[in-house]
Chains A and B, each alone.
Chain A
């Protein structure tokens, strides 16, 4: 049980294009995008604020985590075809990944650029 008033967090690892890894404690219930923008991961831009409308929160998810993620919805799928850096099989929009306890240790790579 989380302590009263204290929110549970898990660690999400953000690895920049240059290879710098930043482990961040992200509140359960926040999205992987929110975990980034609130903690100085400026490689995530998130112009639309999480509405799956802008494609500027693109990440490459480390393969072993893919099966643990919620399935992709149509809007995310469509948006991923418009990202600045090329879409790969492990591409996701970080705003569409809510952080759960099961995702403790999730590792995502940010692309070279978002805009």
Chain B
């Protein structure tokens, strides 16, 4: 048996390790086009930009880990195509690697602005360049009021730089959070001296312009191999593509029901699920989605997916509160701001699928734990 994993990021790394944890004993080849050992991205826009963390520290495991686990690393190598009939991947360097099972964990790349020069943040090299330029700049203009843009703006302010955020939408993180959360973060950023330009496309002059305007999933390999992709490589509940031997996980993967997500949780849990299925189990992907972002002294933690919510209920009040999202009377997601206990409870409530009423959610004296610890 042999498993090939394309993409050595968060998901690819986890899939390789999880295969071993599942008892899979065959060969594992982890192929990644970046010249670095697999690393995690979240600190790139947080601890690293702030100067609290060295770039090296994002490395997930040292080289020895891979040799101990018998995971063959092919770093700095790009997979150019998949030969499904012959069950092998062909590298840009010309050589090929056969597989019995293939995991696509190719992630996503930043969307670039056509009409303007800007720095972007996705990988280690981007981060190193951004940090260097940021340290020397006095003012920073950030295009995009999503997670990455806001984390960059917060880091810039904390480093004592002038910072402005331009967002074409009327509120921050519009796509994923309720207005009450957007409002809280607007105030947070303004209080810390970030100039917010909402509903605007006018980018102010600054020493440095950084854009965080979304990503494009890396689906080309799959498409060229005849698999279905549309803003993500389409997979079923077991994370298989239309080809039974090929899985897709993480940022590049689009779950038939849940859609495509970009988070550490999603990459890690999908990796575990795909690994289990390859190792002979039959597992349906059903993990509760969660995500976090750190901006100034606030931590936003999200659980579940709030899209389609028709009712929103607050527990607590700013600066520490949680937002419960309901659809058709059913709890679907909870965002917590500096209320980590609510967030942990949220994961448990959503995993257990228990009924929570809006009244219980809003009543701080009602112990949500009583709903799950029965």
Contacts and interface: CB of A to CB of B under 8 A. Distances in A.
Contacts of B338: 74
B60 interface: yes
B344 A78 contact: yes
A79 B43 contact: no
Contact of A49 (B43, B299, B341, B343): B43
Interface in B329-372: 338, 340-341, 343-344, 347-348
B64 A40 contact: yes
B306 to A, nearest CB: 18
Nearest to B61: A37
Chain B binding surface SS class: helix
Contacts, number: 51
A58 to B, nearest CB: 14
Interface residues of B, number: 28
Given A48-B264, A49-B58, A82 B292 contact: no
Interface in B55-84: 57-58, 60-62, 64-65, 68
A79 B61 contact: no
Given A40-B68, A74-B340, A78-B341, A49 B40 contact: yes
Nearest to A79: B344
A52 B264 CA distance: 13
A77 interface: yes
B264 A47 contact: yes
B65 A75 contact: no
A53 interface: yes
Interface of A: 30, 34, 37-40, 42, 47-53, 74-75, 77-79, 81-82, 115
Given A74-B340, A82-B347, 11 more contacts: A37-B60, A38-B62, A40-B64, A47-B264, A47-B268, A53-B292, A53-B301, A75-B340, A77-B340, A79-B344, A82-B344
